[in-house]
Amino acid sequence: MGLEPSASCGIGLNTALTPEQRERYQNEDVIRGLLTSCRTIAIVGLSSDPQKASYFVASYLQYAGYRIIPVTPRSGEILGCPSYPTLAAVPEKIDLVDVFRPAGEVSGLVDQAVAVGAKAIWTQLRIVDFAAADKALAAGLKVVMDKCVKMEHGRYHGGLHSAGMNTEILSARRSRLPGEKE
């Protein structure tokens, strides 16, 4: 399928956000752009329990070629990557901050993300804080809220489709091979 532009059904399933809010906080072009341009993803609240959703997402993203950085108070390694207690403690540049923490913590994480110069902040499903999201947007960050990084990656790379899920993507144009020009 690839990440090239295509129309979508846009029926907006499985989100509490209004169409206007979706345009602002779940913008398809922003999502595709982030999945393409980001290489290093800090996952705040990543669990070391292999059966937790955050671990599923992290292992998926790692296999898809992203560099993942666990951010969690517990020291040690997750999926072979050293973890850090805060975003500020991460000794390298972060492209995307992916949040698996309750909505009440998002505002503080936005401040941290701005401070470390992250390009974008992304909150997982059901983690919604509009004020925090607007603060991030005002600071020049890209924002995605109430979406799963893994599902969105799967939506544009065929994985979600192979599981019988409704990707809401429609196109009569031929898919491109990796690296193939339009």
Binding residues (CB under 8 A) for another protein: these are 1-2, 5-11, 13-14, 28-29, 50-53, 56, 59-60, 63, 125-126, 148, 151, 154, 158-177, 180
Closest C-alpha to 60, from 142, 177, 159: 159
For residues 87 and 160, which CB has a smaller minimum distance to another protein in the complex? 160
d(CA 113, CA 127): 16
For residues 91 and 172, which CB has a smaller minimum distance to another protein in the complex? 172
For residues 45 and 94, which CB has a smaller minimum distance to another protein in the complex? 45
Cα-based distances in Å from 62 to 7, 121, 143: 28, 18, 21
> At its nearest, how many Å lie between another protein and the CB of residue 42?
20
> At its nearest, how many Å lie between another protein and the CB of residue 91?
27
d(CA 89, CA 15): 33
For residues 93 and 166, which CB has a smaller minimum distance to another protein in the complex? 166
